[in-house]
Structure 1
Amino acid sequence: MAFPIVRHRRLRASAGIRGMVRETVLNPLDLIQPIFVTYGTGIKREIASMPGVYHFSLDTLKEEVDEIVSLGIPAVLLFGIPETKDAVGSSGFDENGIVQEATRLIKEWYPELLVVADTCLCEFTDHGHCGMVHTHTVDGIVHGDVMNDASLELLTRTAVSQAKAGADIIAPSNMMDGFVQAIRAGLDEAGFEHVPIMSYSVKYASAFYGPFREAADSAPQFGDRKTYQMDPANVREAIREAESDVLEGADMLMVKPALAYMDVIRVIREQFDLPLVAYNVSGEYSMVKAAAQQGWINEKAIVLELLTGLKRAGADTIITYHSKDAVRWLRGE
């Protein structure tokens, strides 16, 4: 049958009907709010390239966590900016490191709030790479190779220390080969077999990370991350990466970034049945904020459409800096 018997607009005729037949529904429980924690006292400092996102010292952190809990957002993703850095990122696996201290405080304040610990070394190394580096100088220019297997031990130590501090979920983002297997074995050996791994399985070497590198003070001091993060042109490679993580014991998979990679989200959703996370990253957030500040777009409409699109593509959970605003808009505020 066709027109005039079939009229598709009948199911769009009112808000009530549109709501009744809506296929994809965005819910506050779908969201994770990232937090940047830094050393010092009395700090609540807006990140210039990410309007509305702040660095918090431990003594100002509760205000942010209170707000997140009041909005019904179920989880936070912690990033830490340490006071000191070194070649192996030792602040990352320090029992009294910034992420570990923040985790303990949050779990003391709100035991039911899920703490997801980003497990990487780039915020903690003086060279800004996600693992141990072998460097050499040619004609005055520093070159370096990120050492895969040697980095796994440090990443595992970091994950175990985060779990000891009370992290509910370990989220390794380093893209070293074998990182899920190494971290799973380390967690199990330390008695944390109950702690799930949310793997950054499909993480591209993306230009959308620019504002984050300011926020986390994690820009590489030489070279780039293209030897371990994925080529943005590839999707079959994404399947191979995700499959490796599934076989190594990942509990959740992630695609990062999100907006330019909805096709990848859909492919991973169709290939694997683990929960799937999309990371709506800093550059995606900042573009929306910048356009909204110029009055060029309706920020509320754009953000809710964007997040709904990520769910429609196949994401079960979305990490986004828009989380707090999105929940308010979903409530009608």
Structure 2
Amino acid sequence: MTIVSRSYPAARPRRMRYADFSRRLMREHQLTTDDLIYPTFVLDGQNRREAVPSMLGVERKSIDLLVKEAEQIAELGIPAMALFPVTPLAVKSDHAEEAYNPEGLAQRAVRAVKEAVPELGVITDVALDPFTSHGQDGLMNPSGYIMNDETVEVLVKQALSHAEAGADVVAPSDMMDGRIGEIRTALEAQDHTNTQ
């Protein structure tokens, strides 16, 4: 048996990089539109757009404009859009009830996008910070302590409302213990077995 040496001159990694065809065959990663998710911020109202000052070139858009954008990104071959609602102050509360309102901004946006572009994957953010008056990602007791289990109950309601609106993926971005299992169990119990 001949032992092949892994040191120079027997090992010559440059030979694999010499020709274009072998570089293309052996490269580890290739980024295509199939790897992209289009993030977008949605506003209440009609024909509205606002620049996001901290994110050059990024705008918040009303649902009607969002639908047009969804059609364009589908034509480009981008497979999914992630929605982040910009909740009006008037509907924020200590208990984040707007997070699971069937007629809430996120839920209406999901329905509109799925109606216009059913093949486009729609991903929703499951988190309470856009909906709480205090801006925290969880419900707080009077001393300011985040109540994990009570928050998980609301996150489950939010995820279910997104699935019922037609979201393909519910994406929890909070940090509550146990929320993934509780959300999955609730989705299964309500026949949303294909919601990711």
Indicate whether the TM-score tops 0.5. Answer: yes
Once the two structures are TM-superposed, the CA of residue 77 in structure 1 deviates from its matched residue by 1.1
User: Equivalent of 1:114, from 121, 124, 135?
Assistant: 121
Q: How does 1:169-248 map to 2 (within 5 A)?
A: 169-196=169-196
Deviations 1:204-228 (A, max 9, x none): xxxxxxxxxxxxxxxxxxxxxxxxx
The structural deviation recorded for 1:133 is 0.7
| Structure 2 residue 158 is matched with structure 1 residue 126 | no
TM (normalized to structure 1)?
A: 0.54
Where 1:146 maps in the other structure, the secondary structure is coil
Q: Secondary structure at the match of 2:141?
A: strand
For residues 174 and 10 of structure 2, the distance between their equivalents in structure 1, rounded to whole angstroms, comes to 56
SS at match of 1:135: coil
- Once the two structures are superposed, residues 37-61 of structure 1 have per-residue CA deviations (whole angstroms, 9 ceiling, x without a partner) of 0112222222111112210111211
Shift of 1:5: 4.2
Q: Secondary structure at the match of 1:188?
A: helix
Q: Percent identity?
A: 39
TM value normalised by structure 2: 0.89
**By how many angstroms is 1:93 displaced?**
0.5
**CA 1:182/1:5 → structure 2, altered by over 3 Å: closer, same or farther?**
closer
Distance 1:128 1:45 in 2: 21
1:146 aligned residue: 146
Deviation for aligned residue 1:164: 0.7
* In structure 2, distance between residues paired with 1:193 and 1:11: 46
Asked if 1:96 corresponds to 2:103, the answer is yes
Q: Tell me the matched-pair count.
A: 189
Letter in structure 1 aligned against 2:77: G
**Alignment match of 1:22 (pick from 27, 37, 43):** 27
The answer to whether residue 168 in structure 2 is matched with residue 168 in structure 1 is yes
**Could you give the per-residue CA deviations for residues 275-329 of structure 1, whole angstroms, max 9, x where no partner exists?**
xxxxxxxxxxxxxxxxxxxxxxxxxxxxxxxxxxxxxxxxxxxxxxxxxxxxxxx
The letter for the 2-side match of 1:70 is: E
Q: Which structure's CA Rg is the greater one? A: 2
For 2:102, the aligned partner's letter is: E
Q: Which runs of 5+ in 1 are unaligned?
A: 137-143, 197-333
**Partners of 1:12 and 1:87 in 2: how far apart?**
59
Relative distance call for 1:181 and 1:7 in structure 2 (3 A) is closer
CA distance in 1, matches of 2:95, 2:61: 25
> Are 2:27 and 1:38 equivalent residues in the alignment?
no
1:6, distance to aligned residue in structure 2 (A) = 3.5
The reply on whether 1:71 has 2:60 as its aligned counterpart is no
* Distance in 2 between residues matched to 1:3 and 1:191, nearest whole Å: 60
